[in-house]
Chains A and B, each alone.
Chain A
Amino acid sequence: MKAIAWHGKHDVRVDTVDDPGIVNPRDCVIKVTSTAICGSDLHLYDGYIPTMQSGDILGHEFMGEVVEVGPKSTLKKGQRVVVPFTISCGSCYHCSKHQYSACDNGLPADNQDIAQELYGQPMAGLFGYSHMTGGYAGGQAEYVRVPFSDVGPIVIPDGVEDDKVLFLSDILPTGWMAAENADIEPGDTVAVWGCGPVGLFAVQSAFLMGAERVIAIDHFPNRLALAKRFGAETINFEESAVYEALMVMTGGIGPDAVIDSVGLEAHGFFVDNVLDQIKASTFLGTDRAHANRQAIIACRKGGRVSMPAVYGGFVDKWPLGAFMEKGLTLKTGQTHVQHYMPALLQAILEDKIDTEFLISHRMPLSDGPEGYKMFHDQQNEVTKIVLKPGLD
């Protein structure tokens, strides 16, 4: 089959590889019909995530048709499913508490060592996202082996188009959980750093949870315009000073909750950010975190910090003093996708959440390498690329 494979920094290719098949009893194999490039795939593309190996198949936002089932899968051939990006067993302590991204068993035993050393305990497996998250082949391919198919994939009713439901795999639940982690109360003002897909879904979710105002921060005009479309006020950080603007816009209080949906590759030329870039390029630090620092400084006293953004390693100059003195609360984590999928599918079917607005480009799977380059180089115009193996 054809698949998009990583071969190094800014080097992804269409490789011809072995077809996947059933390995474990709970597996299924799906024929991919739609698969997106995620903002966090750009972290891989830019070489920020360790333990990638040449030839690794990328992609963790995908859906398709079930073509093979293991003896313990509950799916049937021909069903259309969206697959969560987290590989979770459904039977461990954490899964039983719906903390699916903290699953004990999704990560193969040999791949758990790095996370154990780096984080203290290993997390769930992820599709197509380096060997420290399992080394699982990803979904930017014609076919994918899906472990634990009896608890992961969600069946999509007939007649509902791929583009409407594809984002249940990651970014919609991630944006929703980001808003949930902000513990929004009616009347709150919520500030969202980063108007990528997660930030834009966080904007929609925050309003649905009762926020009175949402202030969205980015520097791409097109993305800010999308945030506006959902009722957010906007700050373009290239044109205005963010902290000062937020303080004036909130009557000197600061936002009640702040959401960092930027993560480890924050853009912009600020002093601490430039230092981070120098350190990252000399391997002294792994994560650039300007947006996160700014969010903590701007957040009102006793406010909530929600961090859906991906961080992998260590940051310094993190304003721990401000965090403590102001008595902030931080909630974060990889998304518990399986927990959110059923209710969010319902919200999509009832037209409470708009998903298709995000897609700016649809292209054949074999144009994947070009898609990566476009997404990387033209972030204003390219909000989301969906690859369609059927178009090849």
Chain B
Amino acid sequence: MADQLLHQQTDDAPLATSKQRDAVERAKSSIPEASGTQITARAVTINRPVAEVFAYFRDFANFPSFMENVERVDVFDRQRSHWVVKAPAGGTVEWDARLTAEEENRLLAWTSGDGADVPNSGQVEFHDAGARGTVIVATILYDPPGGVIGKVIAKMFQREPAIQARRDLRRLKQLLETGEIATPAMNRRQYEEMGL
């Protein structure tokens, strides 16, 4: 126990990067209504003002434009939305999401409702980074579909949150900084074939 305390006092690294077994439990205690067995965190710096970045992000209907696997987000009201997300082997998974915390230009936290195909929750922090723009830190807790085997399959299809979150944040950055999302497609036909 003493070791544990010492560790906490001398390690400022984000919990999602912890090698300690209790990291997920400790993370849950700091995120409202969080649940899940896996944790991942990604950060990106976007060279735009925090108010602009937050406003774009807060409109969940924008998500399909930078999140490769999000097919559709139906926004019911300020708190509740419905997500339709591509899954391995051509299927989809769906869930209702509910905001559990919101501070303008600072924080959004969410949780998926009971009975979600892929239970997930987490928070997205926004920091004003001055001349560098805005830092976004996304922390995601989730239960991978079908346990370990599901995770392996998901990884093969690049549908695994740890990989996906990093790519999606890069796309968000590209869209807000350059007005478009970089693609190697030579023409529209190739672009359609590649998806997104």
A residues whose Cβ falls under 8 Å from a Cβ of B: 17-26, 72, 87, 89-93, 96, 104-113, 116, 125, 134-137, 145, 147-148
1/0 contact trace for B171-196 toward A, CB 8 Å? 10110011111111111111100000
Among B68, B166, B180, B187, contact of A25 (Cβ-Cβ < 8 Å): B180
Residues of B within 8 A of A134 (CB): 182, 184
26 inter-chain pairs at a CB distance below 8 angstroms, sorted by A residue, are A21-B187, A22-B187, A23-B186, A23-B191, A24-B180, A24-B182, A24-B183, A87-B182, A89-B178, A89-B182, A90-B178, A92-B173, A93-B47, A104-B177, A105-B182, A109-B168, A109-B170, A109-B181, A110-B68, A110-B158, A110-B167, A111-B184, A116-B166, A134-B184, A135-B184, A147-B182
| A147 to chain B: closest residue by CB | B182
Among B170, B173, B179, contact of A72 (Cβ-Cβ < 8 Å): B179
Whether B188 and A21, one on each chain, are in contact in the complex, defined by CB atoms closer than 8 angstroms, is yes
Whole-angstrom distance between the alpha carbons of A358 and B170 in the complex? 40
Whether B47 and A137, one on each chain, are in contact in the complex, defined by CB atoms closer than 8 angstroms, is no
B residues whose Cβ falls under 8 Å from a Cβ of A: 45, 47, 68, 132-133, 158, 163, 166-168, 170-171, 173-174, 177-191
Q: A93-B132, A109-B182, A147-B182 are in contact. Are A20 and B177 (CB under 8 A)?
A: no
Which of B167, B181, B186 is most buried by chain A, counting CB atoms within 10 A of its CB?
B186
**Min distance, Cβ A113 to any Cβ of chain B, angstroms:** 7
Which of A18, A93, A125, A136 is most buried by chain B, counting CB atoms within 10 A of its CB?
A93
**Min distance, Cβ B145 to any Cβ of chain A, angstroms:** 21
**Min distance, Cβ B192 to any Cβ of chain A, angstroms:** 10
Whether A21 and B186, one on each chain, are in contact in the complex, defined by CB atoms closer than 8 angstroms, is yes
Whole-angstrom distance between the alpha carbons of A21 and B189 in the complex? 9
| A57 to chain B: closest residue by CB | B186
Known A19-B187, A96-B47, A137-B186; 7 more pairs at CB < 8 Å:
A24-B180, A87-B182, A89-B177, A89-B182, A107-B182, A109-B171, A135-B184
